[in-house]
Amino acid sequence: MFKIVFKLGMAGVIITGLSSQAFAHAHLKSSTPADKSEVITPAELDLTFSEELNLKFTGVKVTGPKKNAVKTGDAMLMDGNVALMVPLSEKLAPGAYTVEWHALSADGHKTNGAFTFTVKP
């Protein structure tokens, strides 16, 4: 009996492994500010993904012109849970910013990436 359960378990692992290739994960479709854009100081970041997100395991790390970590407020999901809104707690000084994001989609897959924007003087 144990062997059968074990085999079924292994089959499940293999099927899960294969099917994860077939489904789209949460890819970043668009953001505000947009990648490589020049903007006036934004009050928030909006990231729109291709799939519904799990807020608990989705977030961003924002790095400023002096490699400083930028403070962010509590992120929330919008637009049917495909968009992540991250309020910025401080006014961003002019310069280049990098947003590194990580996401867990509702189908249980993790993705990550980054985009940059520049705050105009």
User: Please, which residue, 82 or 92, has the CB nearer to Cu ion?
Assistant: 82
* Rounded (5°) CA angle 83-109-32: 25
Among 23, 37, 38, 79, binds Cu ion (CB under 5 A): 23
Q: Where does this chain touch Cu ion (CB under 5 A) — which range of 8-16, 25-33, 54-62, 68-76?
A: 25-33
Residue 52 near Cu ion by CB under 5 A:
no
Which amino acid, residue 1?
M
Residue 25 near Cu ion by CB under 5 A:
yes
> Beta-carbon neighbour count of residue 90 at 10 Å?
11
**Maximal CA-CA distance, the chain:** 70
Q: Where does this chain touch Cu ion (CB under 5 A) — which range of 3-11, 15-23, 94-102, 112-120?
A: 15-23
Q: Where does this chain touch Cu ion (CB under 5 A) — which range of 4-12, 70-78, 81-89, 106-114?
A: 106-114
- Please state the closest distance from residue 20 (CB atom) to Cu ion, in A: 6
Do 53 and 84 contact (CB within 8 A), yes or no?
Answer: yes
Q: Strand 37-39 and strand 110-119: pairing?
A: parallel
Cβ-count burial of 3 within 10 angstroms (0-12 exposed, 13-18 middle, 19+ buried)? Answer: exposed
User: Please, which residue, 24 or 76, has the CB nearer to Cu ion?
Assistant: 24
User: Please, which residue, 21 or 67, has the CB nearer to Cu ion?
Assistant: 21
